[in-house]
Chains A and B, each alone.
Chain A
Amino acid sequence: MTGSDDAVWSHAPDLAVVDSPERVVLLNLRRPAEPARILLGTAAEIWRTIDGERAQREVVERMASSYGVGPAEVLSDVVSFCVDLEHDGLLINRSLDARGTAEVGPSPGPGARHG
């Protein structure tokens, strides 16, 4: 499992996202043949807490606080969620980018926008 306390996760570029009170539905436009990913409950909350600025430690603390449990109890869930979504191209570990190994930043998309 990757993702240190200092890891900063951000949403990948080129996602189509429908965020409703009940859930978050994600479509990775860079993998347009794949089905949409549906996040429910705490998964949706973690997604909303990730903002590309907060360190993983802060995300864990916020989730623990909102559920009234200790950080240790949610750490592995948060990390495995983030790693899983990173695998599907939905999240980016920006701390890896600092070492020059991850892809970040807005994508120009498949081509220039139509003029």
Chain B
Amino acid sequence: MTETVTHTRPTAEEAALLLHALCEWVGREAGVRVLAIKGPVVAIQGLRAPRSSADIDVLVHPEELRAFADRMRALGWYDAVEPSGPRLIAAHSANLLHDHWPLGIDVHHYFPGFLADPGTVFDRLWDRRVEVELAGVPVPACDPVGQVAVVALHLLRSHPDGRSPVLEDLRDRTLQTLSPAQLEELVELAVDTESAWPLRPFLLELGCGLDDPEKPTDAAALAAWNTATLAVEAEGWLRLLAEAPARRWPRIVWHAVMLTDEELLAHHQLTRDEANLRRLRWQRLRRGLAAVPPAALKLIRERRSG
């Protein structure tokens, strides 16, 4: 009469809730503060419509990342295949996978766009935390103010001018959810975490922008943010080429087109198969060739303008 299943995995929606509870438990066991960011908490806080994603996101203090990730690895979690191409934004998370689970866990040790010291940023967000019940377990999560900053920075990476339907949706929901006092706290948080410049387009949309936000202490970090958010497709590879001696160009171009088998298959979530690999490389070559002219033009203009 009874039917239980252990060979089927939970759905993505179920897994997201359970994995946040798991991270909270494991974090507490390892003495690590684990803060739930993005994901189902955002929907619970009314800042976005519910939807499933490919992973859950948690933020830990940079000094506590190793302890947490090692504990997760001891439980059978393993690192996803790392992208081998050039990065315009420095690695900011460990992406962990497990065969029992349909979702990965992105363990962030900093969040791009917060340009202050990552430990300071974590402490500021942790101090503001709230407990949200996920799968029946109270989980420490970013409060709505911190969450708006995190989600806005995430979206601004793809839409740096602040204009996109997803950012408009976040703006509308933020104005419905946050009180005027909380909007002021959002600006204060942006200043404290040196994210006022990256967040500026969104803050202006909210009507609470700073006229002339203070530049981040780390000017290089702001420059890197601007480069990454304004990048066009294939720009990372062209920048790598531009910085490398000519003798290394053939190797870089070869790698840009071919990548590694593991990376290609993992990115497309396909099993190892020669036909799959040939097809993916052909698609990649076509897309790359189409992307090179606009990227090259952008770099040339950038160099001419100094």
Contact = CB atoms under 8 A, between A and B. Distances in A.
A18 B10 contact: yes
A102 interface: no
Interface string A11-46: 000111110100001010100110111111111001
Interface string B5-32: 1101110001101100110011011010
B25 A46 contact: no
B6 A40 contact: no
Q: Give the bracket for the number of chain B residues in contact with chain A.
A: 20 to 34
A74 B8 CA distance: 25
B130 to A, nearest CB: 13
Nearest to B15: A36
Contact of A29 (B3, B9, B10, B21): B21
Interface stretch (B133-141, B158-166, B277-285): B133-141
B4 A16 contact: no
A46 B2 contact: yes
Contacts of A113: 28
Interface string B132-173: 001111001000000000000000000000000000000000
A89 to B, nearest CB: 14
A103 interface: no
A109 interface: yes
A6 interface: no
Contact of B25 (A29, A41, A43, A78): A29
Contact of A38 (B10, B21, B26, B29): B10
B75 A32 contact: yes
Contact of B5 (A17, A38, A80, A110): A38
A37 B28 contact: no
Nearest to A85: B4
A114 B35 CA distance: 11
Contact of A37 (B6, B29, B137): B6
Contacts of B31: 111
A29 B14 contact: no
A87 to B, nearest CB: 12
Interface in A34-76: 35-43, 46, 74
A74 B1 contact: yes
A36 B10 contact: yes
A7 B9 CA distance: 31
Contacts of B100: 35-36
B25 A42 contact: no
Given A33-B76, A43-B4, A15 B136 contact: yes
B76 A29 contact: no
Given A16-B137, A18-B10, A38-B10, A111 B29 contact: yes
Given A27-B18, A33-B76, A109-B25, A17 B136 contact: yes
Nearest to B137: A16
Contacts of A81: 2, 4
B3 A42 contact: yes
Nearest to A11: B136
Given A32-B22, A77-B2, A114-B140, 5 more contacts: A16-B134, A16-B135, A25-B18, A36-B9, A39-B4
14 contacts: A16-B135, A17-B135, A29-B22, A29-B137, A32-B25, A35-B6, A36-B15, A40-B3, A40-B4, A43-B3, A81-B2, A81-B4, A110-B25, A110-B28
Interface of B: 1-6, 8-10, 14-15, 17-18, 21-22, 25-26, 28-29, 31, 33, 75-76, 100, 134-137, 140
